[in-house]
């Protein structure tokens, strides 16, 4: 999902970390919520190949991300291209589950995350402050079919579910500091267990929404509580996912009012606004949340078209002078500015991290069961990323994961949970603006 910093290039980040035994089987201690859809047999947005303008192809997004993971040793790197960004890597894992793509790669990435130990979640003594990463890790384990109550760590297996419950305060909040974004992830992770999410945790989150009917933000959730002006599309969307996962009915005001506010944040092109500008990340999260609440079919369809307008298609690749190739098919840009840049310069080391984050979010638009029912179970082999000109034979794109020719390793974004993406993304934005200004003699294709 995304960083909290108010920057035009801040990207949403549901980053979760560290998974462990390589046997991806459901753990007895964890049960999917009743009625949950496993795998991706049913999807909220279309999976058909995107050969031109139209709705996003989440299958192509998943295939592109799978190739990125495969090229980087089943993980994605941080902004320096040296260390692994475990949060971004798990974003990509969730994206593979949502897109129903690359089962082998999803399991390989789960295994890689398992080896991260406590790099992301911290030591047992740090639970009060590291609980957001613990919650995200627990969710990732559940999605991968692994057991969050027995997460391998240097000092022995850790029960991440028990650790979350152990730092829940009397008022239902978690740890030494809490906010809806992180809280929602904890609620989802706990909701997927046989015991479910504690009612106090669910009630605490529901009480953070803006309840003043006279306020323009009525129904929204934000980085603060109430109607403080911190209302936010991504936070509201994630809150809806958490409430539904915790078996709160879609008709409940805590959900209905949030969805109603969310719908008001969509612009005429179908994108959802984040601090006044639409982007792929916020749009995908909003669409995935509205898919859980009846009555928003038209808004979801418009969002799919907006996301499709940011996706590298065969038509874009075929444009005269395009630096993009079939290896880039399915990649999703953060916004139209980023797509325009890619049309001129390609998805290079400067931009690839932003595309990885945007793609990981865009794929989440295809989650009819929400994060509460997401699973890598049933994922298929990656879709062939090919473009077939008239009269030509299809040629497979390079970088097909798990057995194909890998793409060369590339850089990425951000490393710290929730906020870390912002600084690297600001740098990406600055570099993109700088090189456009430095190359004004070269036309920028629209």
pLDDT of residue 24: 28
Task: Please check the confidence at residue 440 and state whether its pLDDT lies above 50.
Answer: no
Q: Identify whether 191 is part of a domain.
A: yes
Least confident of 32-41, 246-255, 322-331: 32-41
For residue 217, report the phi and psi dihedrals to the nearest 5 degrees.
Answer: -95, 15
> For the residues 52-72, what does the mean pLDDT come to?
88
Q: Identify whether 444 is part of a domain.
A: no
Least confident of 78-92, 251-265, 310-324: 78-92
Q: Identify whether 406 is part of a domain.
A: yes
pLDDT of residue 389: 57
Using pLDDT thresholds of 50, 70 and 90, give the confidence band for residue 314.
very high
Q: What is the CATH number of the domain that holds 223?
A: 1.50.10.20
> For the residues 165-175, what does the mean pLDDT come to?
97
Cα–Cα distance measured from residue 280 to residue 296, given in angstroms and rounded to the nearest whole number: 18
Of 411, 399, 386, residue with least CA distance to 64: 399
Task: Please check the confidence at residue 183 and state whether its pLDDT lies above 60.
Answer: yes
Residue 101 three-state SS = strand
Task: Please check the confidence at residue 406 and state whether its pLDDT lies above 50.
Answer: no
Q: Identify whether 94 is part of a domain.
A: yes
> For the residues 339-365, what does the mean pLDDT come to?
95
Task: Please check the confidence at residue 391 and state whether its pLDDT lies above 80.
Answer: no
Domain membership of residue 272 as a residue range = 58-438
> For the residues 131-139, what does the mean pLDDT come to?
93
> For the residues 318-331, what does the mean pLDDT come to?
95
Q: How many domains does the chain have?
A: 1
Average pLDDT for the chain: 79
Cα–Cα distance measured from residue 92 to residue 109, given in angstroms and rounded to the nearest whole number: 9
Q: Identify whether 169 is part of a domain.
A: yes
pTM of the model: 0.78
Of 45, 49, 113, 71, residue with least CA distance to 361: 45
pLDDT of residue 226: 81
Least confident of 14-18, 184-188, 268-272, 342-346: 14-18
Q: In this structure, how many other beta carbons lie within 10 angstroms of the beta carbon of residue 21?
A: 17
Task: Please check the confidence at residue 11 and state whether its pLDDT lies above 60.
Answer: no
Using pLDDT thresholds of 50, 70 and 90, give the confidence band for residue 19.
very low
pLDDT of residue 383: 66
Task: Please check the confidence at residue 33 and state whether its pLDDT lies above 50.
Answer: no
Q: Identify whether 26 is part of a domain.
A: no
Task: Please check the confidence at residue 14 and state whether its pLDDT lies above 90.
Answer: no
Least confident of 40-54, 152-166, 328-342: 40-54
Q: Identify whether 9 is part of a domain.
A: no
Q: 107 - beta bridge partners? A: none
Task: Please check the confidence at residue 254 and state whether its pLDDT lies above 70.
Answer: yes
Cα–Cα distance measured from residue 428 to residue 413, given in angstroms and rounded to the nearest whole number: 9
> For the residues 33-43, what does the mean pLDDT come to?
28
Q: Identify whether 7 is part of a domain.
A: no
Least confident of 124-138, 218-232, 396-410: 396-410
């Amino acid at each position: 999902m995304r960083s909290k910093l108010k920057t035009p290039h801040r990207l949403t980040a549901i980053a979760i970390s560290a998974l462990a035994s390589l046997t991806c089987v459901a753990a007895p201690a964890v049960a999917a919520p009743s009625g949950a859809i496993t795998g991706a047999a049913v999807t909220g947005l279309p999976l058909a190949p995107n050969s031109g303008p139209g709705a996003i192809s989440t299958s192509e997004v998943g295939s592109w991300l799978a190739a990125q993971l495969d090229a980087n040793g089943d993980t994605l790197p941080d902004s320096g291209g040296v260390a692994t960004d475990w949060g971004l890597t798990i974003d990509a894992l969730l994206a593979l589950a949502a897109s129903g793509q690359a089962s082998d790669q999803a399991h390989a990435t789960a295994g890689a995350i398992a080896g991260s130990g406590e790099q992301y979640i911290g030591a047992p003594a740090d639970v009060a402050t590291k609980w957001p990463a613990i919650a995200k890790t627990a969710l990732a384990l559940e999605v991968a079919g692994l057991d969050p109550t027995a997460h391998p760590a240097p000092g022995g297996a850790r029960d991440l579910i028990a650790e979350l419950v152990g730092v829940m305060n009397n008022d239902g909040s978690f740890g030494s500091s809490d906010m809806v974004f992180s809280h929602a992830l904890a609620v989802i992770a706990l909701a997927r267990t046989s015991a479910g999410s504690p009612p106090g945790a669910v009630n605490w989150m529901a009480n953070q929404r803006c309840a003043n009917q006279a306020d323009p933000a009525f129904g929204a959730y934000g980085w603060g509580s109430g109607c403080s002006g911190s209302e936010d599309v991504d936070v509201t969307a994630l809150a809806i996912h958490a409430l539904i996962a915790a078996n709160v009915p879609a008709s409940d005001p805590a959900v209905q009012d949030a969805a109603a506010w969310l719908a008001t944040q969509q612009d005429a092109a179908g994108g959802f606004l984040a601090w006044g500008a639409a982007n792929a990340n916020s749009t995908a999260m909003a669409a995935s949340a509205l898919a859980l609440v009846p009555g928003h079919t038209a808004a979801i369809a418009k969002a799919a078209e907006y996301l499709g307008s940011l996706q590298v298609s065969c038509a874009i690749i075929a444009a005269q002078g395009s630096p993009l190739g079939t290896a880039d098919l399915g990649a999703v840009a953060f916004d139209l500015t980023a797509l325009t840049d890619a049309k001129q310069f390609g998805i290079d080391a400067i931009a690839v991290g932003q595309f990885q984050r945007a793609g990981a979010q865009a794929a989440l638009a295809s989650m009819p069961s929400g994060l509460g029912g997401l699973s890598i179970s049933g994922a298929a082999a990656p879709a062939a990323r090919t473009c077939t000109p008239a009269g030509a034979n299809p040629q497979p794109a390079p970088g097909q994961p798990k057995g194909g020719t890998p793409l060369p390793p590339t850089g990425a974004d951000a490393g710290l949970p929730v906020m870390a993406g912002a600084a690297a993304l600001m740098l990406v934005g600055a570099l993109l603006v700088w090189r456009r200004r430095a190359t004004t003699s070269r036309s920028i294709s629209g």
